[in-house]
Amino acid sequence: MPHRIGFDRERYIHMQSEQINARRAEIGGKLYLEMGGKLFDDFHASRVLPGFTPDNKIAMLERIKDDVEIIVCINAHDLTRQKKRADLGITYEDDVLRLVDVFRDRGFLVNNVVMTQLESGNEQAEAFIDRLNRLGLTTARHHVIPGYPTDTKRIVSADGFGANDYVETTRDVIVMTAPGPGSGKLATCLSQVYHEHERGIPAGYAKFETFPIWNLPLEHPVNLAYEAATADLDDINVIDPYHLAAYNEQVTSYNRDVEVFPLLKALLEKVTGTTPYHSPTDMGVNMAGHCISDDSACREAARQEIIRRYFKALVDERREDTDDTVSSRIALVMQKAGCTEDERRVIAPAREIAETTGQPGAALELPDGTIVTGKTSELLGPSAAVLLNALKYLAGIDKETLLLSPESIEPIQTLKTTHLGSSNPRLHTDEVLIALSVSAAHNDESRQALAQLKTLAGCDAHTTTILGSVDEGIFRNLGVLVTCDPQYWRKRLYHKR
């Protein structure tokens, strides 16, 4: 269907930057701003709030760039676990470097990385610290504090926050970000506030958490989509009881913020001598709920995201041979939202192709609502086939036209199977696009088809088999929102991604 805009990007940029400035003025000193979620590449927000762009937050901070400094946190344990960003397919270690480059390219000051939860003997963490230092970054070591977060007496002492390295900053708004959750951003903010006050420098803390959106109802699909996205963390949306008690107003928060608030309030009071916050919601500066311009468009986008998250969980469980804990949680979220997989229009056509041919099938919904399909053949896999068919439709090329002749595909297949050791002669999506690019040098129709690649951004697709990493990456780079049935093409114990 046509992609409806439901979020006012420019209003958000203006309101959010003004709100951060206002909070800084209230604190009257350095503001340590914990950035929940992704500061850059916030694809979840762009999917559930159509009109919100993945760089929306960074564009907002550009309004106050001269006052902003960015610190990147990474949990030492995530290095040993080789944790990856699922949306980009890269390790947290690599993402730290990528984030620094991205921020610097946009003109932001970023010189400091904090290694959190560091324990003696973590050789991978120490090696990464050495690497960061060689690259010209300053790396602070923050250690595991026994009794954190309950033993406030020890935490707020020379043996707690005082044992952490102090990060020298030069700006008034310090944004704390990280590759992903659990990176120690909150503890780093509090540690810095402690060190600032020890030096006689006024400083305070606030949180910029986009989801759940505090001024949307508890079970609004946009907030439920957040539950689905964090099902592996067992996050659930709740009414903020502290806000209700203080202001007699129902607002949406989530369980972890509510659970940690009494301790956070106690820590802030112990560090600074006072706290301006009476609830988790008070800590936040999020204005996204004020910038929804079409609620129905956001509701529909969020429902689709919940369904996509459900299929992703099913596939992850199949790949990793784990139980159905996460997918079961998301199934409950689907029930709350009242949505079913039937609402994802690409699923039924893909499965129909598979049932008819006995081979994997794929379907893709174009911006005008047209659904094209792709089947498995001797030359192409279903993902490559549906991609070609979509480009032909968008370019107005007859569906029977062969953009790639068997003669042009055969040498690629020979290369794969004879020289590169592949057992699958069918072309993947990347190979099809390369072949199409070569053909475009002397073929107008191929050139016209390639020109339509940008039109695929935001389109939904579904395949009846789990995608390999190559096809998955191509769809992600094109902006296609793809889901898969949780089954492999062949019954094997080992499946190469």
Instruction: Give the pLDDT of the chain (497 residues) as one tens digit per residue.
Output: 457 899 999 999 999 999 999 999 998 889 999 998 778 778 899 999 999 998 899 999 999 999 999 999 999 999 988 888 877 778 999 999 999 999 999 999 999 999 999 999 899 999 999 999 999 999 999 999 998 888 888 999 999 999 999 999 999 999 999 998 889 999 999 999 999 999 999 999 999 989 999 999 999 999 999 999 999 888 899 999 999 999 999 999 999 889 889 888 988 888 888 888 999 999 999 999 999 999 999 999 999 999 999 999 999 999 999 999 999 999 999 999 999 999 999 999 999 999 999 999 999 999 999 999 999 998 889 999 999 999 999 999 998 888 887 777 777 777 777 777 776 777 889 888 988 988 888 889 999 999 999 999 999 999 999 999 889 999 999 999 999 999 987 665 444 55
For residues 146 and 154, the answer to whether their CB atoms sit within 8 Å is yes
CA 213 to chain centre: 16
Domains, the chain, in order of start with CATH, read: 9-291 (3.10.630.10), 344-484 (3.40.140.40)
3-state secondary structure at position 20: helix
Q: Residue 410 CB: number of other CB atoms within 10 A?
A: 12
**H helices then E strands: how many in the chain?**
20, 14
Phi, psi (deg, nearest 5) at residue 140: -95, 145
For residues 279 and 261, the answer to whether their CB atoms sit within 8 Å is yes
For residues 377 and 413, the answer to whether their CB atoms sit within 8 Å is no
For 441, counting Cβ atoms within 10 Å of its Cβ (0-12 exposed, 13-18 middle, 19+ buried), the class is: exposed
Alpha-carbon distance of 113 to 136, in angstroms, equals 11
3-state secondary structure at position 368: coil
What pLDDT sits at residue 126?
95
Query: What does the block give as tokens for 244?
Result: 């209700």
β-bridge pairing 68-75 and 173-177: parallel
3-state secondary structure at position 102: helix
Starting at the edge strand found earlier in the chain, the sheet holding 109-118 runs 138-143, 109-118, 68-75, 173-177, 30-35, 203-208
For residues 59 and 15, the answer to whether their CB atoms sit within 8 Å is no
Q: What does the DSSP assignment read for 260-271?
A: HHHHHHHHHHHH
CA 118 to chain centre: 25
What pLDDT sits at residue 494?
42
Alpha-carbon distance of 163 to 352, in angstroms, equals 62
Model confidence, pTM: 0.88
Q: Cis ω on the peptide bond leading into residue 179 (within 30° of 0)?
A: no
List the Cα angle 368/370/375 in 5-degree steps.
Answer: 145
Handedness of CA 420, 421, 427, 430 (dihedral sign): negative
270: nearest Cα among 161, 141, 184: 161
What pLDDT sits at residue 272?
85
Q: Based on C-alpha coordinates, what's the Rg of the chain?
A: 25
For 476, counting Cβ atoms within 10 Å of its Cβ (0-12 exposed, 13-18 middle, 19+ buried), the class is: middle
Q: Residue 459 CB: number of other CB atoms within 10 A?
A: 21
Alpha-carbon distance of 240 to 94, in angstroms, equals 36
3-state secondary structure at position 85: strand
What pLDDT sits at residue 234?
84
Query: What does the block give as tokens for 79?
Result: 């290095």
Alpha-carbon distance of 440 to 432, in angstroms, equals 12
What pLDDT sits at residue 299?
97
Alpha helix (H) residue ranges in 295-428:
295-320, 325-337, 347-357, 382-395, 406-414
For residues 162 and 194, the answer to whether their CB atoms sit within 8 Å is yes
Alpha-carbon distance of 264 to 258, in angstroms, equals 10
CA 198 to chain centre: 36
Q: Residue 26 CB: number of other CB atoms within 10 A?
A: 11
Query: What does the block give as tokens for 19?
Result: 């709100």
Q: What does the DSSP assignment read for 60-83?
A: HHGGGGGGEEEEEEEEHHHHHTT-
